[in-house]
Chains A and B, each alone.
Chain A
């Protein structure tokens, strides 16, 4: 699976949009971009994923560049509860029930601090 590069930390003012970048310049054509976050002392939480089109759900938007070498996770109106470590993970489409390709490989992520 392709490696990703994220800034170690970012700050964001409450109520403002948080834009978290991720570089994945070695991504291959059938690899997806996933975003998870981990609030302190909790298990990771799935946020969103995409292949090449921009995606939006109730939590966030995912913007993937046309060359797919980078992406940005956007939290449109950050709240204090969005303070967490955000992980960008690039991986192939998982097999039906996992196996060796079913696990996620976590990097160091970006620690987002939302401040009042």
Chain B
């Protein structure tokens, strides 16, 4: 199946710093990618939709100035958590639909811990 890769797998950062998470589609092009967040013992919640060549669309309650999304190419979307706080500590997951296919492929996730 198609492969979506996230980097890093885990990161620890200090409060107030920014962290960038990359999501790459390795063997297909993705004009759209999705970013999810998952808190412990909870389900995945969609944060935003990343669109290649245009602005991302954010779900209600997600601060676009805090979670910066850039989809600069057909194989790469990045999520930058700016001025991170401990409450931003979570598991961040991206996904990409493969063209006209009906499957969504997920990255392995990034565990962010803000101390």
- Most chain B CB within 10 A, of A49, A98, A107, A108, is at A98
Looking at chain A's contact residues, is the secondary structure mostly helix, strand, loop, or mixed?
loop
Contact assessment for B102 and A32 in the assembled complex, using a CB-CB cutoff below 8 Å: yes
CA distance A107 to B44 in the complex (A): 8
- Interface range on chain B (Cβ under 8 Å from partner): 20 to 34
Contact assessment for B91 and A44 in the assembled complex, using a CB-CB cutoff below 8 Å: no
Q: From A46, which residue of chain B is reached at the shortest CB distance?
A: B103
Task: Pick out which of these stretches binds chain A: B11-19, B80-88, B104-112.
Answer: B104-112
- Least distance between B28 CB and chain A CB atoms (Å): 11
The answer to whether residues A104 and B104 also contact, given A97-B31, A98-B97 and a CB cut-off of 8 A, is: yes
Contact assessment for B109 and A46 in the assembled complex, using a CB-CB cutoff below 8 Å: no
- Residues of chain A within 8 A (CB-CB) of B44 are 38, 44, 104, 106
- Residues of chain B within 8 A (CB-CB) of A103 are 34, 46, 49, 95, 104
| A-B contact number at CB 8 A | 71
Contact assessment for A42 and B97 in the assembled complex, using a CB-CB cutoff below 8 Å: no
Contact assessment for B93 and A97 in the assembled complex, using a CB-CB cutoff below 8 Å: no
> A62-104, CB under 8 A of B: which get 1 and which 0?
0000000000000000000000000100000110111110111
Contact assessment for B105 and A102 in the assembled complex, using a CB-CB cutoff below 8 Å: no
Q: From B59, which residue of chain A is reached at the shortest CB distance?
A: A103
- Least distance between A102 CB and chain B CB atoms (Å): 5
Contact assessment for A102 and B93 in the assembled complex, using a CB-CB cutoff below 8 Å: no
Contact assessment for B46 and A43 in the assembled complex, using a CB-CB cutoff below 8 Å: no
Tally of chain A residues near chain B (CB < 8 A): 26
CA distance A93 to B97 in the complex (A): 12
- Residues of chain A within 8 A (CB-CB) of B93 are 43-44
> B17-58, CB under 8 A of A: which get 1 and which 0?
000000000000011101010000001111001000000010
Q: Which residues of B contact A (CB under 8 A)?
A: 1, 4, 6, 30-32, 34, 36, 43-46, 49, 57, 91, 93, 95, 97, 99-100, 102-109, 111
